[in-house]
Amino acid sequence: MRTLSALLRVAVLPAVLALAVAAPAAVGAAEPTTDATVVAGTGTLAAKGSGYARIAGSYVLAGSMDGGWLKVTGVTRYTIVRVTGWTSKTRFADGSLLFRGVHGNFYIAGRTIATTISSPLTRFRATGHGRAYFAGEGVYYVNGHGPFRWSDGGAHSAF
């Protein structure tokens, strides 16, 4: 009986991992406009700018904002979300968190999550695997290479 259970785990685990790797692309499936950038892959992404940023995947994200809002979706009990300096916080039925009026720092870590930031000035660094979408004005660095403008169109895709 235990041997069958172990065999099932060995057979099912690769399928579950494959779904976990494929899911971040589905989480951040926003259609980019012509003046937006999409960056995808594994590594470290650092960005600073004004506008809209969405990071989806499995990652550790740390940064700061000077106004605006931040939303985290795909939150589970294993997801870490720490945000300081917010005016209001809303928890949705699906577990998503929305912070409005953020003038402070944030630290978010988890698997298959998505963080959306809209701010007149944000700075952050993400390490992990996923996809990032930028619209607005700013610069980003991918694995130490850059700066690339947010409006470059995603020619440098390796996050």
d(CA 47, CA 122): 8
Query: 36: helix, coil or strand?
Result: strand
Q: Output the pLDDT for position 152.
A: 66
Single-letter residue type at 68:
G
Residue 61 makes CB contacts below 8 A (sequence gap 6+) with 55, 106, 107, 108, 109, 115, 124, 125, 126
Exposed, middle or buried, 152 (CB in 10 Å: 0-12/13-18/19+)?
middle
The values of phi and psi at residue 79, to 5°, are: -85, 140
Q: Output the pLDDT for position 137.
A: 95
Instruction: Confirm if 35 and 151 have CB atoms less than 8 A apart.
Output: yes
Element (H, E) at 60: strand 36-66
Which tokens belong to 80? 């870490």
**DSSP string of 68-106?**
SEEEEES--TT-EEEE-S-SEEEE-TTS-EEEES-EEEE
d(CA 128, CA 43): 6
d(CA 51, CA 80): 24
Per residue of the chain (159 residues), what is the pLDDT tens digit?
A: 444 444 433 343 333 333 333 333 333 334 444 467 888 889 999 999 999 999 999 999 999 999 999 999 999 999 999 999 999 999 999 999 999 999 999 999 999 999 999 999 999 999 999 999 999 999 999 999 989 998 865 544 445
